[in-house]
Structure 1
């Protein structure tokens, strides 16, 4: 599946992937071929930041 472009859908998709399959954002990005900086910038525009402790965007 391609990484969603819509920020709200991206948030749901990434958090689900992190919860169910990946122990870190780094591992998700490496596996999915995703750009971590782009994901973080997109989600910061809607008020979400990555929490390493929670392994979720909150």
Structure 2
């Protein structure tokens, strides 16, 4: 999956995919973003729109 496809997804579907990848494949948001060639702020802005924020301690996006 490429950057544009990820960022154009419904934010709730994206949330599910990203949290799964953070849990199973990547040790940090920076690692995930590097793998997909995107900036962390792009992903954070998309998920902030549904009131989810990245929690570094849990390595997950969680609701606020």
The answer on whether the counterparts of 1:4 and 1:13 sit within 8 Å (CA) in structure 2 is no
- Report deviation, 1:35: 2.6
Greater per-residue helix proportion: 2
Say how many residue pairs are matched.
58
Q: State the Cα deviation string for residues 10-53 of structure 1 (Å, max 9, x = none).
A: 10111011000000000000011123111101111101000000
**Runs of 4+ displaced beyond 4 Å:** none
TM score, norm. by length of structure 1? 0.90
Q: Which residue of 2 aligns with 1:24?
A: 28
- Gapped regions of structure 1 (runs ≥ 5): none
Q: Which residue of 2 aligns with 1:50?
A: 54
SS at match of 1:50: strand
Q: Which residue of 1 aligns with 2:42?
A: 38
TM score, norm. by length of structure 2? 0.82
